[in-house]
Amino acid sequence: MPPSNPEGPILVVDDDPDVREAIVDTLQDEGYHVVQTPGGREALVYLRSNPPPSLIFLDWNMAPMNASQFMDEFCKEPSFQGVPVVLITADLHASQKATTSRYDGFITKPINLDTLFSVVERFTKKR
């Protein structure tokens, strides 16, 4: 499914500030427009009050709203249709988790930069 806004920012949702900042800094260094939130609830607030992002990177294990709970709410919003969501997890069963909801892919931690850039290039345009 093509993204609804390929020129929109990349949204990084992760409750670990070190991981979140590493992803944000890496993508910004490559010329991408990136925004971030520390959790699913904050991401929903962002999504409801801004133009759609080109891509969402979503950490699996967050509190108080984990990725599964976020996706339950995300999928209820017609305006979010077409926004790709890529799961980020350290779990060895990532491929199974990625089939439990409307994910457009997954990346395992530690994050391989070639994989990260490949996913980003698939869904976005540099800004």
The domain in which residue 91 lies consists of 10-123
Q: How many domains does the chain have?
A: 1
**pLDDT for 3:** 40
CA distances in angstroms from 109 to 17, 42, 112, listed in the order given: 14, 22, 8
Q: What does the DSSP 8-state code read for residue 63?
A: S
Is residue 40 situated within a structural domain? Answer: yes
Is residue 1 situated within a structural domain? Answer: no
The residue among 118, 1, 66, 32 whose CA lies nearest residue 11 is 32
Is residue 2 situated within a structural domain? Answer: no
Is residue 4 situated within a structural domain? Answer: no
Is residue 35 situated within a structural domain? Answer: yes
Q: Choose the weakest-confidence range: 2-11, 23-32, 84-93.
A: 2-11
Which CATH number covers residue 62?
A: 3.40.50.2300
Structure confidence by residue, pLDDT tens digits, 43-97: 999 999 999 999 999 999 999 999 999 999 999 999 899 999 999 988 766 666 6
The residue among 28, 13, 6 whose CA lies nearest residue 87 is 13
Is residue 115 situated within a structural domain? Answer: yes
Element (H, E) at 106: strand 105-108
Per-residue pLDDT at 110 exceeds 60: yes
Is residue 26 situated within a structural domain? Answer: yes
The two structure tokens encoding residue 41: 């609830």
Using only C-alpha atoms, the chain has a radius of gyration, in whole angstroms, of 13
